Amino acid sequence: MGDAEDELATPLPTPEQLGLGLAYEIKALRGVVDLEPVPNRRPERVVYARSPDGALWVRKMDMPPAERIAEALGYLVCRCVGVPIPDAAVAVDGERVHWLSKVVHPSEVWGPELMYQIYNLDDLGRLLAIDAVLHVPDRHGDNVLFEPSDEGWHLWAIDFDCARIGDPGWLLGSMEHEPLPLAAELPGLDVDVIAGPMRQCADYLAALNLSDARDLAGAACAAARVTGLKERLAEALVTRCSIAPSLVSEYTQLLRTQA
Amino acid sequence: MNPQYRLVHFAPTPGLGARVPIGALTLDDAGVAFVRSPHLPRAECVGGRPGDRVLHLVLDRLEAARSFDELPKTVGHSVVLGEPKPMPCEVTTEAWVRGLFAPLVAQTAEAPRFKERSRADMGYSFFAAYHLEKHVRKRFDPSEFWPDVQLPSSASLYAVGENELLLMEPIVFSRPHRQVEEAAADVSKRFSVYRVARDIEHVIQAFTPKLIAFALHSVDRDTKAEVLSRVTPYADLVYDVDRPGDRMDLVEIVRRTVADHGTGLLGH
Reported as a single tens digit per residue, the pLDDT across A158-188 is: 999 999 999 999 999 998 889 999 999 999 9
Query: Which three-class secondary structure state does DSSP give residue B37?
Result: coil
Asked if A53 reaches chain B (Cβ–Cβ under 8 Å), the answer is no
Residue B218 pLDDT level (bands cut at 50, 70, 90): confident
From B124's Cα to the closest Cα of chain A, the distance in A is 9
Q: Which residues of A14-44 are buried (b: 16+ CB within 10 A; e: fewer)?
A: eeeeeebeebbebeebeebeebbbbbbeeee
Question: Per the CB < 8 Å rule, is A148 touching B53?
Answer: yes
Cα–Cα distance, B258 to A220 (Å, whole number): 49
Q: Reply yes or no on whether the pLDDT at A151 is more than 50.
A: yes
Q: Reply yes or no on whether the pLDDT at B268 is more than 50.
A: no
B215: which strand partners?
B171, B240
* Residue numbers in A near B224 (CB within 8 A): none
Residue pair B21/B101 in contact by the 8 Å Cβ criterion: yes
Residue B89 pLDDT level (bands cut at 50, 70, 90): confident
More confident residue, A16 or A214: A214
Asked if B255 reaches chain A (Cβ–Cβ under 8 Å), the answer is yes
Reported as a single tens digit per residue, the pLDDT across A47-62 is: 999 999 999 999 999 8
Asked if B250 reaches chain A (Cβ–Cβ under 8 Å), the answer is no
Best of B74, B172, B255 to disrupt the A interface (most A CBs within 10 Å) is B74
User: Quick one: DSSP state of residue B44?
Assistant: G
Mean pLDDT confidence for B134-151: 88
Cα–Cα distance, A167 to A236 (Å, whole number): 9
A46: which strand partners?
A60
Instruction: Please write down the HEC assignment for all residues of chain A.
Output: CHHHHHCCCCCCCCHHHHCCCCCCCCEEECCCEEEEECCCCCCCCEEEEECCCCCEEEEECCCCHHHHHHHHHHHHHHHHHCCCCCCEEEEEECCEEEEEEECCCCCEECCHHHHHHECCHHHHHHHHHHHHHHCCCCCEHHHEEEEEECCEEEEEECCCCCCHHHCHHHHHHCCCCCCCCCCCECCCCCHHHCHHHHHHHHHHHHCCCHHHHHHHHHHHHHHHCCCCCHHHHHHHHHHHHHCHHHHHHHHHHHHHHHC
Best of A42, A114, A116 to disrupt the B interface (most B CBs within 10 Å) is A116
Complex ipTM more than 0.90, yes or no: no
Mean pLDDT confidence for B79-87: 93
The pLDDT value recorded for residue B111 is 53
> How many CB atoms sit inside 10 A of residue B96's CB?
17
Reported as a single tens digit per residue, the pLDDT across B22-70 is: 999 999 999 999 999 988 888 888 888 899 999 999 998 998 899 999 9
Reported as a single tens digit per residue, the pLDDT across A189-225 is: 999 999 999 999 999 999 999 988 998 999 999 999 9
The pLDDT value recorded for residue A24 is 67
The pLDDT value recorded for residue B260 is 64
From B198's Cα to the closest Cα of chain A, the distance in A is 32
